[in-house]
Amino acid sequence: MTPDATGETPADAAARASAEFRADVLHGLAQTPKRIPSKYFYDARGSQLFEEICAQPEYYLTRTELAILEENAAAIASAIGPRALLVEYGSGAGIKTRLLLDALDQPVGYVPVEISRSALDASIENLSEEFPEVDMLPVSADFTRPVDLPAPDQAARRTVVFFPGSTLGNFEQREAIGLLRTMAIEMGRQGAALVGIDLQKDPAILEAAYNDAAGVTREFTLNLLTRINRELQADFQLHEFEHGARYNAQAGRIETHVVSRIDQVVAIGAHRFAFAAGEAMLVEYSCKYAPEDFAAMAARAGLRVVRSWSDSRRWFAVQMLERA
């Protein structure tokens, strides 16, 4: 089996990811309140459902960020400069990556850091055909933990960390600052980061985006339980749980939960976890930022906002960060 850029084989990566998944789920279910990290939404079915979410009329985030990148691609590429090494956290479908690579002046390498090896392979296969001159260096890893980045064959003028999709908002502030600090280390003294952030707006617009009328987000949320059942031999009864997403104005974030409809016990092997009727298990935060609050958070990580691109409604922004 072909190893990734770190030398890890797909079999090794799969075994490591499976062990981490099991440990995180068992740990999260033992907490009060219960919680499971949102990164585990994205098995093959979860990734497919997320693409469907992005097409829902209520879900403005993806199309708004994509429009920002399309309209400002030349300006963003000019701000980055030539011969960049692009490092992306969570490569996903690669649509935004393609836009950026196409706009950049002589990019020397692309390092997608993605926990899903299948998503990683699919992304690289498509991009390598379109950008044969760019050194493709996939890394199968959890980007929330330190990663040894591979070096491209050609020397890079600067390293740019690309983190689109408002994914930073899935982390609590302390964790988000820690991730920004990791970016600061990985991009180096002369590097930069491009981070997509969802901006604060009417709570009705926010809640609609996470409770689409077609029910795709509900299916996406409950697919996490399907994955746990399949991969960890659990016995979640999906019809006894429901999706719930509400905006917490004080915290400035959407909070998504899986809610138990009845008193019940879920088994994972020898482990038993009791759920009370109405008990909510946290599965995702989606923080919404005021620009000044995001700048203050970046400053705590040793970074400063040097450029910002937004849409005309100021619903979303792509922020360029450099070391302070």
DSSP states of 174-210: HHHHHHHHHHHHHH-TT-EEEEEEEBP--HHHHHHHT
State the CB neighbour count (10 A cutoff) for residue 258: 24
CA distance 91 to 112: 5
Say if 102 falls within a structural domain.
yes
Pair 185, 298 in one domain: yes
Residue 59 banded pLDDT, cuts 50, 70, 90: very high
246 has a pLDDT exceeding 50: yes
CA distance 118 to 13: 11
Say if 214 falls within a structural domain.
no
pLDDT the model gives residue 1:
44
Name the average pLDDT for the chain.
Answer: 94
**What CATH number did the domain enclosing 181 receive?**
3.40.50.150
CA distance 203 to 209: 10
pLDDT the model gives residue 302:
97
DSSP class of residue 30 equals T
Say if 136 falls within a structural domain.
yes
| The token pair that represents 140 in the structure block | 């199968």
* Contact (Cβ atoms closer than 8 angstroms) between residue 9 and residue 2: yes
219 has a pLDDT exceeding 70: yes
Share of the chain above pLDDT 70, in %: 97
Length of the chain: 324
Longest dimension (CA), the chain: 59
Residue 121 banded pLDDT, cuts 50, 70, 90: confident
| The token pair that represents 282 in the structure block | 């946290």
Q: In sequence order, what DSSP letters do the residues of 146-172 get, joined into one string?
A: ---PPPPSSPPSEEEEEE-TTGGGGS-
9 has a pLDDT exceeding 70: yes
CA distance 162 to 85: 10
Pair 317, 194 in one domain: yes
Determine which of 109-113, 118-122, 126-130 has the lowest per-residue pLDDT on average.
Answer: 118-122
Residue reference for tokens 């050609």: 154
Say if 151 falls within a structural domain.
yes
Pair 278, 305 in one domain: no
Q: Indicate the burial class of 98 (C-beta count within 10 angstroms; 0-12, 13-18, 19 or more).
A: middle
Pair 255, 191 in one domain: no
91 has a pLDDT exceeding 50: yes
pLDDT the model gives residue 3:
63
pLDDT the model gives residue 103:
97
Pair 84, 14 in one domain: no
Pair 260, 151 in one domain: no
- Per-residue pLDDT tens digits for 268-304: 999 999 999 999 999 999 999 999 999 999 999 999 9
Pair 77, 157 in one domain: yes
* Contact (Cβ atoms closer than 8 angstroms) between residue 52 and residue 293: no
Pair 176, 282 in one domain: no
309: helix, strand or coil:
strand
Pair 154, 250 in one domain: no
- Per-residue pLDDT tens digits for 149-196: 899 999 999 999 999 999 999 999 999 999 999 999 999 999 999 999
CA triplet 210, 212, 215: central angle to 5 degrees?
110
CA distance 7 to 4: 5
Pair 25, 82 in one domain: no
Residue 66 banded pLDDT, cuts 50, 70, 90: very high
Say if 21 falls within a structural domain.
yes
CA distance 180 to 198: 16
Total H helices, total E strands in the chain:
9, 13
pLDDT the model gives residue 5:
61
Residue 2 banded pLDDT, cuts 50, 70, 90: low
136: helix, strand or coil:
strand
Pair 154, 93 in one domain: yes
Higher pLDDT, 7 or 112: 112
Domain that holds residue 271: 10-40+49-56+219-287
14 has a pLDDT exceeding 90: no
Say if 264 falls within a structural domain.
yes
Total structural domains within the chain: 2
pLDDT the model gives residue 112:
93
Q: Which residues pair with 246 in a beta bridge?
A: 255
Pair 247, 101 in one domain: no
What type of residue sits at position 134? V
Say if 122 falls within a structural domain.
yes
211 has a pLDDT exceeding 80: yes
pLDDT the model gives residue 123:
79
* Contact (Cβ atoms closer than 8 angstroms) between residue 324 and residue 209: no
pLDDT the model gives residue 92:
66
Say if 90 falls within a structural domain.
yes
